[in-house]
Amino acid sequence: MIADGRGRAVAFALAPGQAHELPMAPGLLGCLPDVPGWIVGDRGFASDAFRERIWAMGARPAIPPRRTDAPVACPDWIYANRHLVENLWARLKEWRAVATRYEKTARSFLGVLCLAATADWIKVIKF
C-alpha cells in the first residue's frame, strides 16, 4: 500500500498470502501523483535495488537495513512517520469485510478495499 503524507491510501496491490510485497512495491511507486521527498518503509522493503529505484525517481528512502546488512542512512525523525500507514490499516480494518477477508475472491476483496479507502478519504474531507 502507498499512503500520502496524511495517511490516506493512494494505491494498493493485492499479493497472495504467502508472497512477499517487495516485488509489487516498484509498481506502486509509479502510482504516486508526484515525487515525494521521502519514501518510508519497514525492514521488509530493505533491498538495494528498491533503494536505488527510489533514488532514481528523485526521492530519498527511509528504510532501515536488515540486521545482517550494513548500516544505511535512515533518519529516526522521518521513519517515525510510518505509523501513518499502520493507522490507515487500522481504519480500513474497521470494516469487517476487510478485517476478516470476508470476500473470497481477490477481485471482490479489492472492491471492498477500494470502497473502504474511498470512505476513509471522504471522512477526512471537510465540507
Judge contact between 121 and 8, C-beta under 8 A: yes
- The domain of 110 spans 93-127
Q: Using alpha carbons, select from 95, 101, 84 the residue that is nearest to residue 117.
A: 95
2 falls within a domain: no
My answer on whether 38 and 77 are in the same domain is yes
- Predicted TM-score (pTM) of this structure: 0.74
DSSP state of 71: P
My answer on whether 76 and 44 are in the same domain is yes
Domain count along the chain? 2
pLDDT tens sequence for the chain (127 residues): 888 888 888 888 888 777 788 888 888 888 888 888 888 888 888 888 999 999 999 999 888 888 888 777 777 788 778 888 888 889 999 888 888 888 888 889 889 999 999 999 888 666 5
Judge contact between 38 and 62, C-beta under 8 A: yes
